[in-house]
Amino acid sequence: MATIREFAPAKINLTLGVAGRRDDGFHLLESLVAFADLGDVLTLDTVGNAGVQITGPMADGLAGPDILARTLALVEERAPELARGAVHLEKILPVAAGVGGGSADAGALLRALYRANGPLSEGVDWHGLARSLGADVPVCLEARSLWMTGVGEDLFEIENGLPVLQAVLVNPMVAVPADKTARVFRVLDAGPVREGYVPPVAPQFADREALLQFMRANANGLQRAAEEIVPEVGVVRDALAALPGIEYVGLSGAGPTSFGIFPNREAAEAARAELAAVHPGWWTIAVKLS
Protein backbone atom coordinates (compact mmCIF):
# COMPACT_ATOMS: atom_id res chain seq x y z
CA MET A 1 0.00 0.00 0.00
CA ALA A 2 1.33 3.45 -0.89
CA THR A 3 -0.73 5.66 1.46
CA ILE A 4 -1.53 4.82 5.06
CA ARG A 5 -3.62 6.91 7.45
CA GLU A 6 -3.39 6.66 11.22
CA PHE A 7 -5.45 8.41 13.88
CA ALA A 8 -3.40 9.94 16.72
CA PRO A 9 -5.90 10.25 19.60
CA ALA A 10 -5.49 12.57 22.56
CA LYS A 11 -4.05 10.82 25.61
CA ILE A 12 -5.73 11.65 28.93
CA ASN A 13 -4.23 10.76 32.31
CA LEU A 14 -7.34 9.93 34.32
CA THR A 15 -5.01 9.53 37.31
CA LEU A 16 -1.33 10.37 37.70
CA GLY A 17 0.76 9.54 40.74
CA VAL A 18 4.47 10.19 41.18
CA ALA A 19 6.20 7.54 43.29
CA GLY A 20 9.47 9.43 43.50
CA ARG A 21 12.63 10.34 41.61
CA ARG A 22 15.18 7.75 40.53
CA ASP A 23 18.91 8.30 40.88
CA ASP A 24 19.07 9.16 37.16
CA GLY A 25 16.58 12.01 37.64
CA PHE A 26 13.58 10.29 36.03
CA HIS A 27 10.35 10.04 38.00
CA LEU A 28 8.40 6.82 38.51
CA LEU A 29 4.79 7.22 37.49
CA GLU A 30 1.53 5.43 38.23
CA SER A 31 -1.12 6.44 35.72
CA LEU A 32 -4.46 5.26 34.41
CA VAL A 33 -4.46 6.35 30.77
CA ALA A 34 -7.45 6.69 28.46
CA PHE A 35 -7.78 7.99 24.91
CA ALA A 36 -10.28 10.38 23.36
CA ASP A 37 -12.24 10.08 20.13
CA LEU A 38 -10.44 13.26 19.02
CA GLY A 39 -6.91 13.59 17.70
CA ASP A 40 -4.49 14.44 14.94
CA VAL A 41 -4.51 12.59 11.63
CA LEU A 42 -1.26 11.28 10.15
CA THR A 43 -0.73 10.13 6.57
CA LEU A 44 2.33 8.21 5.39
CA ASP A 45 3.06 8.09 1.64
CA THR A 46 5.65 5.36 1.20
CA VAL A 47 6.47 6.35 -2.39
CA GLY A 48 7.16 9.98 -1.47
CA ASN A 49 10.47 11.46 -0.39
CA ALA A 50 11.14 11.18 3.34
CA GLY A 51 10.08 14.32 5.14
CA VAL A 52 7.36 15.89 7.28
CA GLN A 53 4.63 18.38 6.40
CA ILE A 54 2.31 19.73 9.09
CA THR A 55 -0.94 21.59 8.51
CA GLY A 56 -4.12 22.12 10.50
CA PRO A 57 -5.55 24.56 13.05
CA MET A 58 -2.81 23.93 15.65
CA ALA A 59 0.16 23.70 13.27
CA ASP A 60 1.35 27.23 14.03
CA GLY A 61 1.87 26.30 17.68
CA LEU A 62 4.66 23.88 16.87
CA ALA A 63 8.20 25.05 17.54
CA GLY A 64 11.54 23.41 18.18
CA PRO A 65 12.56 19.86 17.26
CA ASP A 66 9.92 17.93 15.33
CA ILE A 67 9.21 14.56 16.97
CA LEU A 68 8.05 13.11 13.64
CA ALA A 69 11.38 13.98 12.00
CA ARG A 70 13.14 12.46 15.02
CA THR A 71 11.02 9.33 14.64
CA LEU A 72 11.98 8.95 10.98
CA ALA A 73 15.66 9.51 11.81
CA LEU A 74 15.55 6.95 14.64
CA VAL A 75 13.91 4.35 12.39
CA GLU A 76 16.51 5.00 9.70
CA GLU A 77 19.27 4.51 12.28
CA ARG A 78 17.91 1.37 13.97
CA ALA A 79 15.96 -0.28 11.16
CA PRO A 80 17.36 1.04 7.86
CA GLU A 81 15.74 -1.81 5.95
CA LEU A 82 12.28 -0.30 6.52
CA ALA A 83 10.59 1.86 3.89
CA ARG A 84 9.72 5.29 5.22
CA GLY A 85 8.40 8.08 2.97
CA ALA A 86 6.58 11.39 3.17
CA VAL A 87 4.61 12.20 6.32
CA HIS A 88 1.70 14.62 6.49
CA LEU A 89 0.14 15.57 9.82
CA GLU A 90 -3.15 17.36 10.26
CA LYS A 91 -2.60 19.00 13.66
CA ILE A 92 -5.87 19.19 15.60
CA LEU A 93 -4.67 18.94 19.21
CA PRO A 94 -3.13 21.89 21.09
CA VAL A 95 0.64 21.83 21.46
CA ALA A 96 2.40 21.23 24.81
CA ALA A 97 -1.04 20.64 26.31
CA GLY A 98 -0.63 17.53 28.46
CA VAL A 99 -2.72 15.40 26.08
CA GLY A 100 0.23 13.64 24.47
CA GLY A 101 -0.06 15.43 21.13
CA GLY A 102 3.54 14.92 20.01
CA SER A 103 3.70 11.48 21.59
CA ALA A 104 0.41 10.50 19.93
CA ASP A 105 1.78 11.65 16.58
CA ALA A 106 4.98 9.64 17.05
CA GLY A 107 2.95 6.59 18.05
CA ALA A 108 0.77 6.98 14.96
CA LEU A 109 3.84 7.24 12.72
CA LEU A 110 5.33 4.08 14.23
CA ARG A 111 2.04 2.23 13.62
CA ALA A 112 1.94 3.50 10.03
CA LEU A 113 5.52 2.35 9.44
CA TYR A 114 4.66 -1.06 10.92
CA ARG A 115 1.71 -1.42 8.55
CA ALA A 116 3.71 -0.18 5.56
CA ASN A 117 6.52 -2.68 5.92
CA GLY A 118 4.68 -5.98 6.17
CA PRO A 119 6.92 -8.92 7.15
CA LEU A 120 9.94 -6.64 7.60
CA SER A 121 8.16 -5.10 10.59
CA GLU A 122 8.21 -8.31 12.60
CA GLY A 123 11.89 -8.08 13.48
CA VAL A 124 11.73 -4.48 14.75
CA ASP A 125 11.59 -3.55 18.44
CA TRP A 126 8.76 -1.05 18.07
CA HIS A 127 8.34 -0.51 21.79
CA GLY A 128 12.08 0.08 22.10
CA LEU A 129 11.79 2.77 19.45
CA ALA A 130 8.84 4.28 21.30
CA ARG A 131 10.73 4.33 24.62
CA SER A 132 13.62 6.17 22.97
CA LEU A 133 11.27 8.93 21.77
CA GLY A 134 9.66 9.85 25.11
CA ALA A 135 7.88 8.63 28.22
CA ASP A 136 4.37 8.88 26.73
CA VAL A 137 5.20 7.35 23.34
CA PRO A 138 4.88 3.66 24.40
CA VAL A 139 1.31 4.10 25.63
CA CYS A 140 0.50 6.29 22.62
CA LEU A 141 1.86 3.57 20.35
CA GLU A 142 -0.80 1.28 21.84
CA ALA A 143 -3.42 4.08 21.76
CA ARG A 144 -5.82 2.30 24.12
CA SER A 145 -6.63 2.43 27.80
CA LEU A 146 -3.80 0.96 29.89
CA TRP A 147 -2.22 1.13 33.34
CA MET A 148 1.20 2.77 33.01
CA THR A 149 4.07 2.59 35.51
CA GLY A 150 7.84 3.05 35.57
CA VAL A 151 8.89 6.01 33.46
CA GLY A 152 6.17 5.13 30.98
CA GLU A 153 7.66 1.90 29.66
CA ASP A 154 5.66 -0.59 31.77
CA LEU A 155 2.15 -1.04 30.39
CA PHE A 156 -0.54 -3.35 31.74
CA GLU A 157 -3.96 -4.41 30.53
CA ILE A 158 -7.06 -3.29 32.40
CA GLU A 159 -9.21 -6.37 32.70
CA ASN A 160 -12.51 -5.84 30.86
CA GLY A 161 -11.31 -2.37 29.79
CA LEU A 162 -12.57 1.00 30.96
CA PRO A 163 -16.20 2.09 31.21
CA VAL A 164 -16.82 4.87 28.69
CA LEU A 165 -16.67 8.40 30.06
CA GLN A 166 -18.17 11.55 28.53
CA ALA A 167 -15.87 14.49 29.07
CA VAL A 168 -15.07 18.08 28.19
CA LEU A 169 -11.44 18.93 27.50
CA VAL A 170 -10.41 22.50 28.26
CA ASN A 171 -7.15 24.26 27.49
CA PRO A 172 -6.77 27.96 28.42
CA MET A 173 -4.54 28.49 25.34
CA VAL A 174 -1.96 30.55 27.19
CA ALA A 175 1.76 30.59 26.56
CA VAL A 176 3.52 27.88 28.55
CA PRO A 177 7.26 27.65 29.26
CA ALA A 178 9.22 25.50 26.81
CA ASP A 179 10.40 23.42 29.77
CA LYS A 180 6.94 23.32 31.39
CA THR A 181 6.95 19.64 32.33
CA ALA A 182 10.47 19.77 33.78
CA ARG A 183 9.54 22.84 35.83
CA VAL A 184 6.37 21.18 37.12
CA PHE A 185 8.38 18.19 38.35
CA ARG A 186 10.93 20.51 39.99
CA VAL A 187 8.17 22.31 41.86
CA LEU A 188 6.68 18.97 42.85
CA ASP A 189 10.00 17.91 44.41
CA ALA A 190 8.80 14.33 44.88
CA GLY A 191 11.98 13.11 46.57
CA PRO A 192 13.69 9.78 45.94
CA VAL A 193 11.82 6.55 45.35
CA ARG A 194 11.28 4.88 48.70
CA GLU A 195 13.23 1.74 49.43
CA GLY A 196 11.37 -1.43 48.52
CA TYR A 197 8.89 0.38 46.28
CA VAL A 198 6.70 -1.95 44.22
CA PRO A 199 4.34 -0.39 41.65
CA PRO A 200 0.66 -1.12 42.22
CA VAL A 201 -1.00 -3.64 39.94
CA ALA A 202 -3.44 -2.55 37.27
CA PRO A 203 -6.83 -1.59 38.75
CA GLN A 204 -10.09 -3.24 37.75
CA PHE A 205 -13.50 -1.58 37.59
CA ALA A 206 -16.82 -3.27 38.07
CA ASP A 207 -18.68 -0.29 36.63
CA ARG A 208 -18.48 3.41 35.83
CA GLU A 209 -18.97 4.51 39.44
CA ALA A 210 -16.06 2.33 40.56
CA LEU A 211 -13.88 4.07 37.97
CA LEU A 212 -14.94 7.50 39.20
CA GLN A 213 -14.21 6.52 42.80
CA PHE A 214 -10.74 5.39 41.78
CA MET A 215 -10.13 8.69 39.99
CA ARG A 216 -11.28 10.71 42.99
CA ALA A 217 -9.00 8.73 45.30
CA ASN A 218 -5.90 9.06 43.09
CA ALA A 219 -6.28 12.23 40.99
CA ASN A 220 -3.20 13.97 39.53
CA GLY A 221 -0.25 14.57 41.84
CA LEU A 222 1.02 17.33 39.55
CA GLN A 223 -2.05 19.56 39.96
CA ARG A 224 -0.63 21.99 42.52
CA ALA A 225 2.74 22.29 40.79
CA ALA A 226 1.07 22.79 37.40
CA GLU A 227 -1.05 25.62 38.82
CA GLU A 228 2.09 27.29 40.15
CA ILE A 229 3.77 27.19 36.73
CA VAL A 230 0.62 28.04 34.73
CA PRO A 231 -1.89 29.77 37.07
CA GLU A 232 -4.64 29.54 34.45
CA VAL A 233 -4.82 25.80 35.21
CA GLY A 234 -6.54 26.70 38.48
CA VAL A 235 -8.93 29.07 36.71
CA VAL A 236 -9.97 26.30 34.33
CA ARG A 237 -10.37 23.85 37.22
CA ASP A 238 -12.71 26.22 39.05
CA ALA A 239 -14.72 26.96 35.90
CA LEU A 240 -15.25 23.25 35.25
CA ALA A 241 -16.12 22.53 38.88
CA ALA A 242 -18.91 25.13 38.74
CA LEU A 243 -20.71 23.57 35.76
CA PRO A 244 -24.06 21.78 36.17
CA GLY A 245 -23.80 18.00 36.20
CA ILE A 246 -20.04 17.89 36.74
CA GLU A 247 -18.92 14.61 38.32
CA TYR A 248 -15.14 15.00 38.37
CA VAL A 249 -12.47 17.51 37.36
CA GLY A 250 -8.93 16.42 36.59
CA LEU A 251 -5.70 17.53 34.96
CA SER A 252 -4.04 15.55 32.18
CA GLY A 253 -0.28 15.12 32.38
CA ALA A 254 1.50 18.29 33.46
CA GLY A 255 -1.30 20.38 31.94
CA PRO A 256 -2.50 22.85 31.04
CA THR A 257 -5.41 20.80 29.64
CA SER A 258 -8.02 19.87 32.24
CA PHE A 259 -11.01 17.58 31.80
CA GLY A 260 -14.44 17.39 33.33
CA ILE A 261 -16.51 14.21 33.49
CA PHE A 262 -20.27 14.38 32.90
CA PRO A 263 -23.05 11.80 33.18
CA ASN A 264 -23.84 11.74 29.45
CA ARG A 265 -22.98 13.29 26.10
CA GLU A 266 -25.80 15.81 26.27
CA ALA A 267 -24.56 17.20 29.61
CA ALA A 268 -21.01 17.36 28.27
CA GLU A 269 -22.08 19.22 25.12
CA ALA A 270 -24.13 21.68 27.16
CA ALA A 271 -21.19 22.31 29.49
CA ARG A 272 -18.85 22.82 26.55
CA ALA A 273 -21.22 25.38 25.02
CA GLU A 274 -21.50 27.25 28.32
CA LEU A 275 -17.73 27.39 28.78
CA ALA A 276 -17.17 28.47 25.18
CA ALA A 277 -19.64 31.32 25.57
CA VAL A 278 -17.98 32.63 28.72
CA HIS A 279 -14.38 31.91 27.67
CA PRO A 280 -14.24 32.15 23.87
CA GLY A 281 -10.44 32.13 23.89
CA TRP A 282 -10.25 28.71 25.51
CA TRP A 283 -10.07 25.44 23.57
CA THR A 284 -13.11 23.47 24.68
CA ILE A 285 -14.42 20.25 23.18
CA ALA A 286 -16.69 17.40 24.22
CA VAL A 287 -15.17 13.94 23.77
CA LYS A 288 -15.68 10.29 24.61
CA LEU A 289 -12.91 8.68 26.70
CA SER A 290 -12.26 4.95 26.66
Point out the residues that are catalytic. Answer: 11, 136
Task: Give the strand pairing for 86-90 and 154-156.
Answer: unpaired
Distances 247 to 13, 32, 227, 232, 290 between C-alpha atoms, Å: 16, 18, 21, 21, 17
Distance of CA 107 to the CA centre of its chain: 11
- Cα–Cα distance between 290 and 101 in angstroms, integer? 17
Taken in order 189, 217, 201, 159, is the CA torsion positive or negative? negative
Task: Give the strand pairing for 258-262 and 3-21.
Answer: unpaired
Amino acid identity of residue 269, one-letter, is: E
Q: How many CB atoms lie within 10 A of CB 151?
A: 16
Q: How many CB atoms lie within 10 A of CB 250?
A: 23
Give the residue from 186, 106, 94, 203 showing the smallest Cα distance to 146. Answer: 203
